[in-house]
Amino acid sequence: MSPRTRVTLTDISRQSGYSPATVSMILSGRTDVSFSADTVRKVRETAEALGYAPTAKKRPSLFDRKTVLIVCPNVLNPYYSTIVQAIQQAAADKDCDTLVYTTYRDAENEIRILNAVAGSDLAGVVFTMMPQSTELVERVNRLVPVVVIGDRNTSLNVDTVEMNNYSAGAIIAHYMIGLGHKHIAYISTTLNEANSARVRRLEGVRDTYRDECPEGSVIVRSREVTPKEERDNISIEHAVGFELTRKCLGERRITAFVAVNDMVAYGVLDAIRAEGRRVPEDYSVCGFDNIFPSQFLPVGLTTVEHYIADKGRNAFEILHSKMSGESSDRNITRVEFKHHLIVRDSTAAPRGEEKTG
């Protein structure tokens, strides 16, 4: 089969109705010129629809050693900073350097850095979260090896280090039901398919309650967090946990809270204490991720361990094997890490009830 004809800037210009110069400046990320948001959106959507992949330009190397780009939504949450440092440790062992780019979950930021990668001399890319621009990631992967750390996703055609977040949610739900908690609240930042891990965790919790505790309920409280909020408010996850929990404390039937991650769980804990309530005597609280501060809280947090640092190191090992030619770029590697519940002092049976499981 003959190779597919490469999409050119002229093709995009003809389809979008904008001049080749405009198309070129937008797709190259020029910062010395500006266009309306509608123009930028239409050009990029047209490029993606046509399957455009930027040509990697030969240029003098910016780096003395092989350099890997690490893309993450933020570095404040210890989940991401732990992954970043684990990747950097593994890279140092192979005499590679790293750069870190934060997107704050802004799709435009993600597209911008991916377009830059395609024309760079970077040796590889690690995404510490599921990318939003999956088709563009797959196209860039044809030029520069990419590994993604995130939720299980068999439709993404790049190397992945995965976690079954649905199963993680089910583990917590089963444990809470066993303690006797019939009515719980699930507290989360933005819930949508761009944040699939959060949704899968919720689905695992809900389905387990439906099957094992049909008389119970899972009350979902979430708040959308914009990219600007994530960038500008360094305590946004804690703030969301605090705000949403205070709104739930008036609902008498709720006896426990499941937070979408440990950082949100810290906000849940503080909201309960601010109302003069106690953990776990009045409410139980669970999180996800087992970030390192969770064991040092005044009340140790029950949470799901899924080996954050190991995932970071493994992602780099997979990437390095592609960078060095040890593994074929025709193969896709998928590694799924196991997880388990770590029970600490933030959970107990509801007052007046005994554990049932």
Tell me the two tokens of residue 211: 């099957």
Range 21-35 average pLDDT: 78
Range 192-208 average pLDDT: 94
Q: Comparing C-alpha atoms, which of 306, 231, 312 is closest to residue 68?
A: 312
How high is the mean pLDDT of the chain? 91
How big is the chain by its Cα radius of gyration, in Å? 23
8 pLDDT tier (thresholds 50, 70, 90): confident
pLDDT score, position 55: 65
Range 88-92 average pLDDT: 97
Range 43-66 average pLDDT: 73
Instruction: Residue 351: count other Cβ atoms within 10 Å of its Cβ.
Output: 12
Q: What tens digit of pLDDT does each residue of 211-245 get? A: 999 999 999 999 999 999 999 999 999 999 999 99
Q: What tens digit of pLDDT does each residue of 320-352 get? A: 999 988 877 778 889 999 999 999 999 999 986
pLDDT score, position 332: 86
3-state helix, strand, coil in the chain (%, to 5): 45, 15, 40
Three-state secondary-structure class, residue 135: helix
With beta carbons less than 8 A apart as the criterion, state whether 200 and 151 touch.
yes
pLDDT of 59 > 60? The answer is: no
pLDDT score, position 298: 86
CA dihedral 200, 206, 211, 216 (to 10 degrees): 170
pLDDT score, position 62: 54
Tell me the two tokens of residue 81: 């900073």
245-260 b/e (C-beta count within 10 Å ≥ 16 → b): bbebbeeeebbbbbbb
CA dihedral 273, 275, 278, 283 (to 10 degrees): -110
Three-state secondary-structure class, residue 258: strand
Tell me which DSSP letter residue 302 carries.
B
Q: What predicted TM-score, i.e. pTM, was given to this entire model?
A: 0.80
104 pLDDT tier (thresholds 50, 70, 90): very high
C-alpha distances out from residue 81 to 72, 88, 201, 205, 342, Å: 9, 10, 22, 27, 21
